[in-house]
A = this chain, B = another copy of it.
Amino acid sequence: MSSYRAPLSDMRFVLFDVLGAQSLLARLGFEDATRDVVDAVLEEGARFTETVLAPLNRIGDEAGCSYDQASGAVTTPPGFRQAYSQYVEGGWAGLVSPVQFGGQGLPHAAGVPLKEMIDAANLAWGNFPLLSHGATEALLHHGEPWQQEAFLKPIVEGRWTGTMCLTEPHCGTDLGLLKTRAVPQPDDSHAITGTKIFITAGEHDFTENIVHLVLARLPDAPAGSKGISLFIVPKIKVDRSGAMGERNAVRCGALEHKMGIHGSATCVMNFDDAQGWLIGEPNKGLMAMFTMMNTARLAVGLQGLGLSDRAYQNALRYARERLQMRSLSGARFPDKPADPIIVHPDVRRMLLTQKALVEGGRALGYHAASLVDIISHGEDADECAQADALLGFVTPIVKACLTEWGVECTYHALQCFGGHGYIAEHGMEQLARDARITTLYEGTTGIQALDLVGRKIMQLQGAGLRVFLRMIEEFCAANEGNAAVAEFIAPLRASAAEWQQLTMTIGQRAVANAEEVGAAAYDYLFYSGYVALAYWWARSVAAADGSSHPQGFKDAKRETARFYFARLLPRTLAHKAAIESGVGPLLGLDAGHFDA
Contact = CB atoms under 8 A, between A and B. Distances in A.
B590 A563 contact: no
A217 to B, nearest CB: 14
A480 interface: no
Interface stretch (A20-28, A75-83, A443-451): A443-451
Interface stretch (A157-165, A230-238, A433-441): A433-441
Interface string A310-322: 0000001000100
A583 interface: yes
Interface string A217-234: 000000000000000000
A587 B345 contact: yes
A329 B415 contact: no
Copies of the polypeptide in the assembly: 2
Given A419-B172, A522-B349, A589 B570 contact: no
A588 B573 contact: no
B591 A555 contact: no
Interface stretch (A253-261, A296-304, A498-506): A253-261
Interface stretch (A240-248, A374-382, A512-520): A512-520
A7 interface: yes
Contacts of A344: 446, 518
A352 B595 CA distance: 11
A113 to B, nearest CB: 13
B591 A563 contact: no
Contact of A566 (B350, B418, B578, B593): B578
Interface in A562-596: 562-563, 566-567, 570-571, 573-574, 577-578, 581, 583-596
Contacts of A513: 329
Contact of A345 (B173, B323, B518, B553): B518
A347 interface: yes
A251 B349 CA distance: 39
A425 B257 contact: yes
B174 A7 contact: no
Nearest to A442: B419
Given A423-B257, A567-B581, A573-B574, A418 B449 contact: no
Interface centre among A172, A348, A449, A592 (most CB of B within 10 A): A348
Given A337-B177, A594-B351, A515 B440 contact: no
Contact of A9 (B407, B514, B596): B596
A370 interface: no
Contact of A258 (B7, B429, B522): B429
A514 B329 contact: yes
Given A424-B259, A595-B316, A585 B556 contact: no
A552 interface: yes
A311 to B, nearest CB: 14
Most buried by B among A329, A355, A566, A596: A596
A580 to B, nearest CB: 9
A449 B320 CA distance: 22
A444 B422 contact: no
Contacts of A343: 591
B259 A449 contact: no
A10 to B, nearest CB: 3
A41 B273 CA distance: 59
Contact of A432 (B340, B421, B436): B436
Nearest to A338: B174
A563 B586 contact: yes
B346 A450 contact: yes
A116 interface: no
A402 interface: no
Contact of A591 (B320, B567, B581): B320
Interface of A: 7, 9-10, 13, 167, 170-174, 176-177, 198, 256-260, 316, 320, 323-325, 327-329, 337-338, 340, 342-352, 355, 358-359, 407, 411, 414-415, 418-419, 421-425, 429, 432-433, 436-437, 439-441, 444-446, 449-450, 454, 513-515, 517-519, 521-522, 552-553, 555-556, 559-560, 562-563, 566-567, 570-571, 573-574, 577-578, 581, 583-596
9 contacts: A13-B596, A257-B423, A328-B454, A344-B518, A345-B587, A415-B440, A433-B433, A559-B589, A567-B585
